[in-house]
């Protein structure tokens, strides 16, 4: 089955702790994205990557970090600098969004603070 796999589905973070959300895709897509979803605020872009070993900050990158060492993988680390991390995190991929190819989303990770 082709698609995007996010894990874990639920994650709890203790204060001062860094946590990493996994995102893997087998769609052979070049571009990958991380969005944060909060009630009433829509989808806000955290980071995106158009090619391996390259990524750009989105609109709300502070307190987050990413890597893109493999085409298939785009993990997101929520650092202790992110003071309000509780949210639903969505990973997405596309062929090339610049040609209006659609985004494929994973099923998300719900992150909560203990």
Partner 1 sequence: QQQVKQSPQSLIVQKGGISIINCAYENTAFDYFPWYQQFPGKGPALLIAIRPDVSEKKEGRFTISFNKSAKQFSLHIMDSQPGDSATYFCAAQNTGFQKLVFGTGTRLLVSP
**Which residues form the interface with partner 1 (CB under 8 A)?**
4, 31, 35, 40-45, 48, 50, 56, 58, 90, 92, 96-100, 102-103, 105-108
The smaller minimum CB distance to partner 1, of residues 34 and 82, is found at 34
**Minimum CB–partner distance for residue 75 and partner 1 (Å):** 17
The smaller minimum CB distance to partner 1, of residues 73 and 80, is found at 73
**Minimum CB–partner distance for residue 29 and partner 1 (Å):** 12
The C-alpha atoms of residue 15 and residue 3 are separated, in whole angstroms, by 33
- Largest Cα–Cα separation, the chain: 42
Q: What angle do CA 21, 35, 17 make, to 5 degrees?
A: 35
**Minimum CB–partner distance for residue 42 and partner 1 (Å):** 4
Q: Which two tokens stand for residue 55?
A: 């990524």
How many separate helices (H) and strands (E) can be counted in the chain?
Answer: 0, 11
């Amino acid at each position: 089955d082709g698609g995007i796999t996010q894990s874990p589905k639920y994650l709890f973070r203790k204060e001062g702790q860094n946590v990493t959300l996994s995102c893997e895709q087998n769609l052979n897509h070049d571009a990958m994205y991380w969005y944060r979803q909060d009630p009433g605020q829509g989808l806000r872009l955290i980071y995106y990557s158009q090619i391996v070993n390259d990524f750009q900050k989105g609109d709300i990158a502070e307190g987050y970090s990413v890597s893109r060492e493999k085409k298939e993988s785009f993990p997101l680390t929520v650092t202790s600098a992110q003071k309000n991390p509780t949210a639903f995190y969505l990973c997405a991929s596309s062929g090339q969004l610049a040609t209006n190819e659609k985004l494929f989303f994973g099923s998300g990770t719900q992150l909560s603070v203990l």
